[in-house]
Amino acid sequence: MAPTEANLGVPIYPGAQFIASYDAGRGQRYYIFGSAATFVDLVAYYRTVLRQKGELVFEVPATHEFDVGKYDEDRMAFPPGVTIKDFQSDVSQGYPNPKPGGQPARFPTIIQIVPVVGRQ
């Protein structure tokens, strides 16, 4: 079942499709969403709704992170946050949609959300 914004504690980009969630360890999960929107549009959206600049952590593939809570290394495997990753490049047409026949067939951009512990 797809998580809600209330569960995650952060907005989900409109139209983004839930792909999967994974056990991150230490009682945390992270959630993956695919979007047909461009990397630039997603970064602009999260800059606005989270009211922060975030940080470009990799240029290739473009990866932008936003912190959404305090990181406690004694209790958490990952810092709570939203990470946007550009999956379209000269060597990749995008992240494959895991739903057979799903549209789009490939997502140009992926959103990873690590909620604040206790909001899962």
pLDDT tens for 32-72 read 999 999 999 999 999 999 999 999 999 999 999 999 988 88
Q: What is the pLDDT of residue 41?
A: 97
- d(CA 38, CA 67) in angstroms, rounded, equals 21
Q: How does residue 77 score in pLDDT terms, banded at 50, 70 and 90?
A: confident
Alpha-carbon gap, residue 43 to 64, rounded angstroms: 7
For position 20, what pLDDT does the model report? 96
- Contact between 112 and 64 (Cβ < 8 Å): no
pLDDT value for 84 = 98
d(C-alpha 41, C-alpha 81), whole Å? 18
Q: Is the pLDDT of residue 120 over 80?
A: no
Closest by alpha carbon to 49, among 10, 8, 4? 10
Q: What is the rounded distance in angstroms from the CA atom of residue 116 to the CA atom of residue 79?
A: 8
- Name the pLDDT band for 117 (thresholds 50, 70, 90): low
Reported as a single tens digit per residue, the pLDDT across 88-105 is 988 888 999 999 999 999
Question: Under a CB-based contact definition with an 8 Å cutoff, are residues 101 and 77 in contact?
Answer: no
Burial (CB count <10 Å: 0-12, 13-18, 19+), residue 10: buried
Does the model's pTM come out above 0.85?
yes
Considering the chain, what is the average pLDDT of its residues? 92
pLDDT of residue 83: 97
